[in-house]
Amino acid sequence: MLALSLIWSAYVVVVGIWILLQRRAPVATLSWLLSMAVIPVVGIGVYYFLGPRRLKRQRLRRLRSRRKSRMRSSVARLREKVPEAPESLKQVVKLVTSSTHFPISTAEEVELLVGGAATFDSIMAAVRGAKHHVHLEYYIFEPDQTGQALLDLLAEKARAGIQVRLLVDALGSKRLGRRHFAALEAAGAEFALFHPTKLGRRARPVTNFRTHRKIVVIDGRIGYTGGVNITDAEDRRIHADAYHDAHVRLEGSVVNWLQTVFLEDWAYALDYKHKTEPGDYDALLPDLPEGSQVVQVMASGPDSDMEAIHRVHVYAINAATKRVWLTTPYFVPTEPSMLALTNAALRGVDVCLLVPEKSDSRLVTAAARSYFDELINCGVKVFEYQASMLHSKTMVVDEHLGIIGTANFDNRSFRLNYEVCVVTYGEHFNAKLASQFVEDLKLARRVGYARPQSFWQRLFDSAARLCSPLL
C-alpha cells in the first residue's frame, strides 16, 4: 500500500509539472490536474493526445513554410494598397491587424447566403465559371450527394486544365477515402490532408488541433467562408431538418487575404508530404479593384498565442454602445467573454444570445445552459432556436461592426481550432446580418430565469460546465 502511494505521489508530481509547463489558464490547468489525479491511467493517455496546447514543432514548420514561400513578394505588393480605416473603428482595425497581420481591405460585393442550399448553388456556379484555379479548404467534406456532386465538378474542371486544390481536415472529413482522393488526382487535381491522424509520432500533439475553416477561392477573385460544411445535413432540399446556417460570398481585394489563409494552410499541409508549393502567386493573388465596402479577414489558430478571434470578440462586445446580437451553435464562453457579455448588458446594451435548443452535442448543450441564469440575471436576452439545428456563427455590434465566419463562441474555436472570420465595417452588410438575426428570432423561444428543471438535468448541466475549459 505504501509503495502504491509513493508511485501515485510521484506520478502526480511529474504529470503536474508537465501540465504546469503548458501555461494554460488556471481553471483549465486545475481541471487537467484533477483529471490526471482521479483517473491516472486513462487520464494521462487522454492528455497526451488532447491536452498540450503549444504546437512548437508545428508553429516552426508553419513559420518556415511562410518564410520560404514565394508568395511573400505578392503579399508585400498587396499591403501597399491598404485603405484608410474609418475613424470610429480605427482601434478594432488596429487590433485585428496587430493580432493577425492581415490589414484592412475592401470588397466590391459582400453577399449573405442563408442556408446550405443557397450556399451550395452559389459555390457550384462559381466553380463552373472558374478560368484559372479553384481552392477549397473544409473541416467536413462528406462524400454524400452534395459532396460527390462537388467532387465530380472539381474533377471535370481539373480535366479541363483548371488548377484544383482541395484541403480537408483529416478528422472532420474522415469519410473521404482513398478512392475519392485517387479520382481527383487522376483528373489532375491536387489533394491534401490537414493534420493526418496516423498512429505514431504524428498523432500527437496535432490530434486535438483541427482546421475548422471553410474556404473557397475561385480565380483569386471570388471567395466564400462561413459555417456551411460540404454535407447533405446542410441542405433542406435533401433533409427537411437540415442545419440552419450562414455563409458569406466576397468579391474584391479582400479575397486576396482569404486566399493567403488558404495558401499558408496548403503550404503547411504539403510539408507533411514533402511536396512543392504553387509557383504562380501573381495569378493566385491578382491585382483587384477596390470596393466600397470595408472588410477585414481575421484568422487564428493554436500556432499563435494571440487568440485573435477571441480578442476581437471580447473587444467588440466591450466597445458596444447599443447592441450585441450573437448567434452561435456552441456557447461555452471563456471568463473574459462571459464578463464582456454581462458587463455590456449591465451597461444597458441590448445583448441578445441565440443558440440552438438542441445542438449535435448533448454535452455542449448542457454546458451552455449552465450559463443561462447568470446571463439572464445580468440582463442578457437568451433565445433558443427551435426549427432545426442552428449552425450560424455571426455577431452584430451596433450599426457598424459585424463578424461572420467559422468560429463558435467557445474555447475550442478561440484557442484550439484553426478558424477564419470576416469582419465587416459599415452599415450595409451589418444591416443584413441584423435583419437575419431578427428573422431567426421568430423561430426561437426566449429562455426565462430559473426555468423549471429536474434535479438530474441541473446536475448534468453543472457537471458539463466543469468540462468547459476542456471543450
| pLDDT per residue as tens digits for the range 138-189 | 999 999 999 999 999 999 999 999 999 999 999 999 999 889 989 999 999 9
**Beta-strand pair 105-107/293-300:** antiparallel
321-348: pLDDT as tens digits? 999 999 999 999 999 999 999 999 999 9
Q: What is the pLDDT of residue 348?
A: 98
The Cα-based distances of 308 to 2, 67, 100, 329, 414 in angstroms read: 49, 21, 6, 20, 8
CA angle 119, 124, 129 (to 5 degrees): 130
* Residues 261 and 297 sit within 8 Å (Cβ to Cβ): yes
* Residues 302 and 53 sit within 8 Å (Cβ to Cβ): yes
**What residue ranges of the chain have pLDDT lower than 70?**
1-86, 198-207, 271-277, 279, 450-471
Residues labelled catalytic:
212, 214, 219, 391, 393, 398
Q: What is the pLDDT of residue 206?
A: 62
Q: What is the pLDDT of residue 201?
A: 46
Q: What is the pLDDT of residue 275?
A: 57
β-bridge mates for residue 325, sequence order: 352, 396
Start-to-end Cα distance in the chain? 36
Contacts of range 374-379, beta carbons closer than 8 Å, 24 or more positions apart: 374/338, 374/342, 375/338, 375/341, 375/342, 375/345, 376/447, 376/448, 376/449, 377/449, 378/341, 378/342, 378/345, 378/346, 379/342, 379/345, 379/346, 379/351
Give this prediction's pTM. Answer: 0.86
